[in-house]
Homo-oligomer: A and B are copies of this chain.
């Protein structure tokens, strides 16, 4: 989890503009998929080099190139040369510590997103940086590793009746962003469940482990906010962009993604408040438990210490202790013992310590 943060300095020392992959290395095969479609055709194939893509750059089809790993720096370099991409953009694509952003260049748009996936039941969130290059009729997506995140889009593209087939590269860009942002809603549901679970635990039987879980949740939330909160600004920038690569009608769709981003942001803010409340409950419950312990001690000690004193008194060896000779002294003392205990128990009961 904290990997998205660590080792941010890996590249410090390299001159700016030098192409080096910075970030976690995923032990996956490198692959380049090319999808070429318009209303009537759909073709999907795996290519070896970027040169094979060039013929697809025609006017009447949309070409989507998915690069599934960032290990092969030469591929990125080739794209830079063939499509005239700025050196800093290539560098940013290779550095997976970027924050989500949108940049407008002459002839293309550059978008960085953070896709997320819940890995297992321990609530480990996996982050993947997805870079988008949106050119005229060509869309490049760069992923850290091969996964199923775009399978839904591919299936719809394969369907001849899909609305998507009729629309341009900008709409494909929107669909990709929408897919990535939708994943956050799934995460949000998991958060909801988890928070409910911890709250129940807090009220029923809080332990030191509960605190660890709250802190873990808090930490995850902090990292998540860093992936989500720039989305707002990013989408405002897209909507305000005057680039002719984005059709005005498509902007209405980006406004919809913007709405989603705001909703997710608001949820994360709510979680923050709820988690702060949890810590207060935890502290209160620890204090309450200490008070319980103290009450048990006080009840035992306060009842038996006076009685022990009385027993001690009649264990003294003075010669002249008249009570020792009395016939009913011993049973009478038991009455005193039991009576004292009863009075004290009643006192504690009134103080509501026996509940």
A residues contacting B by CB (< 8 A) are 2, 5-9, 11-13, 15-17, 86, 88, 92, 97-99, 101, 103, 152, 156, 162-164, 174-175, 178, 182-183, 185-186, 188-189, 192-193, 196, 199, 203, 208, 211-212, 215, 218-219, 222-223, 226, 252-253, 255-256, 259, 262-263, 266-267, 270, 273-274, 277, 279-291, 293-298, 300-302, 304-309, 311-321, 323-330, 333, 337, 353
The distance in angstroms between the C-alpha atoms of A280 and B6, with both chains bound, is 24
Q: Which of B5, B156, B193, B282 is within 8 Å of A284, CB to CB?
A: B282
The distance in angstroms between the C-alpha atoms of A98 and B324, with both chains bound, is 83
17 A-B pairs with C-beta separation under 8 A: A9-B182, A13-B152, A15-B175, A99-B259, A219-B274, A286-B287, A289-B291, A296-B302, A297-B298, A301-B302, A314-B317, A316-B317, A316-B330, A318-B323, A319-B324, A319-B325, A320-B330
The distance in angstroms between the C-alpha atoms of A192 and B178, with both chains bound, is 32
A241 to chain B minimum Cβ distance, whole angstroms, is 16
Q: Interface SS of chain A: helix, strand, loop or mixed?
A: helix
The distance in angstroms between the C-alpha atoms of A262 and B183, with both chains bound, is 25
A223 to chain B minimum Cβ distance, whole angstroms, is 7
Task: Check A318 against B311 for contact (C-beta < 8 Å).
Answer: no
Beyond A13-B182, A270-B226, A297-B297, whether A5 also contacts B329 by CB under 8 A is no
The distance in angstroms between the C-alpha atoms of A14 and B8, with both chains bound, is 36
The distance in angstroms between the C-alpha atoms of A182 and B325, with both chains bound, is 85
A95 to chain B minimum Cβ distance, whole angstroms, is 10
A305 to chain B minimum Cβ distance, whole angstroms, is 4
Beyond A175-B16, A298-B296, whether A318 also contacts B308 by CB under 8 A is no
Task: Check B295 against A6 for contact (C-beta < 8 Å).
Answer: no
The distance in angstroms between the C-alpha atoms of A85 and B51, with both chains bound, is 44
Task: Check A288 against B208 for contact (C-beta < 8 Å).
Answer: yes
The distance in angstroms between the C-alpha atoms of A86 and B252, with both chains bound, is 10
Task: Check B8 against A263 for contact (C-beta < 8 Å).
Answer: yes
Given A12-B186, A15-B175; 17 other pairs, CB 8 A cutoff: A2-B192, A12-B183, A16-B175, A16-B253, A17-B163, A98-B259, A203-B212, A208-B288, A211-B281, A211-B284, A219-B277, A222-B274, A279-B280, A290-B291, A293-B298, A315-B317, A317-B324
Task: Check B5 against A215 for contact (C-beta < 8 Å).
Answer: no
The distance in angstroms between the C-alpha atoms of A326 and B328, with both chains bound, is 18
Closest 5 A-B residue pairs measured CB to CB? A311-B312, A9-B185, A314-B316, A297-B298, A12-B182
Beyond A2-B196, A353-B293, whether A320 also contacts B315 by CB under 8 A is no
A291 to chain B minimum Cβ distance, whole angstroms, is 5
The distance in angstroms between the C-alpha atoms of A11 and B296, with both chains bound, is 54
| Residues of B contacting A174 in the complex (Cβ-Cβ under 8 angstroms) | 16
